[in-house]
Chain A
Amino acid sequence: MNIRVQILAVMIGLGILVTILELIRKRKLREEYSVLWFATAIGILVLSLWFPLLEWLTALLGVVWPATTLFLFGLIFLVLISLHFSIKVSRLTDQVKDLAQEAALLSEEVSRFRAQSAVPEARPDTSSSNS
C-alpha cells in the first residue's frame, strides 16, 4: 500500500480517537455512544499499521487495492453507527411521547384538583407558555 495512503489512514484513525476522547472529557458525548466510534478508530489504526492482516483480508475479499479494504471497513462501521443512532432515536421518541402524555394527564389532574379545592392557580395560564 502506498505510504501516503497509510499515513492518511493512521491520521484519520488517530483523529477520530482523539476527538472522541476530547468530547467525552468535555461531557459532550456520553460514554455509551462512544463504543462504536472507538471500534471504528481502532479498526482503522490496526488495519493501516498491521499490513499483513490488511493484505490477507484484501485477498480474502478479492479486492485489488488494500486501501479499498480499509475504506470498506470504515464504511461498514459508519453504517453500524447510523443504525445504532436510528435505534436510539426510536427509543427516545417513544420515551418523549410517554413523558409528554404523562405530563398532559398530570397537568389536567392538577388543574382539576385546584378547581375542586379552590386554590388559585400559581400562573394565569400554563398552556400559553410554549406558544
Chain B
Amino acid sequence: MKVLAIIPAYNEEASLPVVLREMSNHAGGVDCLVINDGSKDRTAETARAVGVGVVSHPVNLGAGAAAQTGFRYALRRGYDIVIQIDADGQHDPRDIPSLLRALENEGVDAAIGSRFLEDRGYRPTRMRSVGMSFFNGLATILTGQRVTDSTSCFRALKRPVFKFFAEMDYPTDFQDADLRVLMKRAGFRVQEVAVSMRPRLGGRSFINGIVPAYYVFKVSLSILVTLLREAPRLRRE
C-alpha cells in the first residue's frame, strides 16, 4: 500500500519543521508532500531542507485548492491512500495509525479525524462552537450518520475518494459539511475516528474577521446546491 501524506501550507515556516519531524517519527513509511500555496515566507525551503517533496503554487489559490493539488499528485503517482494533515501543528501525527486502521475495514472509504468523538480536552470558543454544532447537526440529518466534526480536514482517503476529489469541482477555500453531504451522495462510506487537537504552533487561521459570516453563508449555499444537483456518478478506473 503506497500512502501519501499531503500537507497544504500557507506561510507555515514556524510550525512545518515540527510537523515534518513528528511525521517521520510517528508515521514512518508514509511519503510526505507539502503543497506550498504561494507562501510569502520560507515554507517551501523549510520542507526541502528536510528532504520532503514540495509542490509550489505560483500564486495563492486557497486551502481547498492546495489539498486538491495534493489529490492530483497522488492520483498521478499511483498512491493507494492519501492522508491529509494540517501544517499548523493542530493535528497530531500520532493519530495517523488509527486513521489508517479504520481504512483496513473493507467497507470504509474515508476515515475522518474528529475532535469531539471522545473528550480529549479540545474547547472551541463560543461562537465557533455554535457554528460547528449547526453544521454537525445539518450534516448528521442530511447524511443519516452521526457527524461530530464536519470541519475536520484530518483524514485518510482511499483512492476512489481522492480520485473523485481530484477530478471534481473541489472547493478552493473551506472544506466542510458540504463535502460530507457530497461524499454521502457519491456513495462513499465515511467513518469518524477520535483524534486529539492541539493549539496551533504558529501562523494564523484564515477564518477570522468578516470571514465567519461568509463561511456560514458559503457552506450553507454549497450544501443546498449539492442537494439540488444530480448525485455524482463515479467513473471507474
Spell out A's residues near B (CB within 8 Å).
94, 96-97, 100-101, 103-105, 107-108, 112, 127, 130-131
Asked whether any CB of chain A lies closer than 8 Å to the CB of B26, the reply is no
Using known A-B contacts A101-B61, A104-B69, determine if residue A131 contacts B40 with beta carbons closer than 8 Å: yes
Asked whether any CB of chain A lies closer than 8 Å to the CB of B58, the reply is yes
* Residue contact B172 to A104, C-beta cutoff 8 Å: no
Using known A-B contacts A97-B65, A97-B172, determine if residue A104 contacts B53 with beta carbons closer than 8 Å: no
- Known contacts A96-B59, A100-B65, A104-B57, then 20 further A-B pairs from the complex at CB < 8 Å, ordered by chain A residue: A94-B169, A97-B61, A97-B65, A97-B172, A100-B61, A101-B61, A101-B65, A101-B68, A104-B35, A104-B69, A105-B55, A105-B73, A105-B76, A107-B55, A107-B56, A108-B54, A108-B56, A108-B73, A127-B44, A130-B59
Using known A-B contacts A94-B169, A131-B40, determine if residue A105 contacts B58 with beta carbons closer than 8 Å: no
* Residue contact B69 to A101, C-beta cutoff 8 Å: yes
Instruction: For A130, give the chain B residue with the smallest CB separation.
Output: B58
**Chain A CB within 10 Å — which of B55, B72, B76, B169 has the most?**
B55
A94 to B61, CA, bound (A): 10
In whole Å, how far is B225's beta carbon from the nearest beta carbon of chain A?
13
Report chain A residues within 8 Å CB of B36.
127
* Residue contact B172 to A103, C-beta cutoff 8 Å: no
Report chain A residues within 8 Å CB of B35.
104
* Residue contact B55 to A104, C-beta cutoff 8 Å: yes
Report chain B residues within 8 Å CB of A100.
57-59, 61, 65
Q: List 7 A-B contacts (CB under 8 A).
A: A97-B65, A100-B57, A101-B72, A104-B56, A108-B55, A112-B53, A130-B59
In whole Å, how far is A65's beta carbon from the nearest beta carbon of chain B?
39
In whole Å, how far is A73's beta carbon from the nearest beta carbon of chain B?
31
Report chain A residues within 8 Å CB of B56.
104, 107-108, 127
A108 to B35, CA, bound (A): 10
Using known A-B contacts A97-B65, A97-B172, A131-B40, determine if residue A103 contacts B54 with beta carbons closer than 8 Å: no
Report chain A residues within 8 Å CB of B54.
108
**Residues 2-37 of B at the A interface (beta carbon under 8 Å):** 35-36
* Residue contact A105 to B69, C-beta cutoff 8 Å: yes
Give a binary string over B111-145; 1 marks a CB under 8 Å from any A CB, 0 the rest. 00000000000000000000000000000000000
A100 to B66, CA, bound (A): 10
Give a binary string over B45-85; 1 marks a CB under 8 Å from any A CB, 0 the rest. 00000000111111101000100110011001000000000
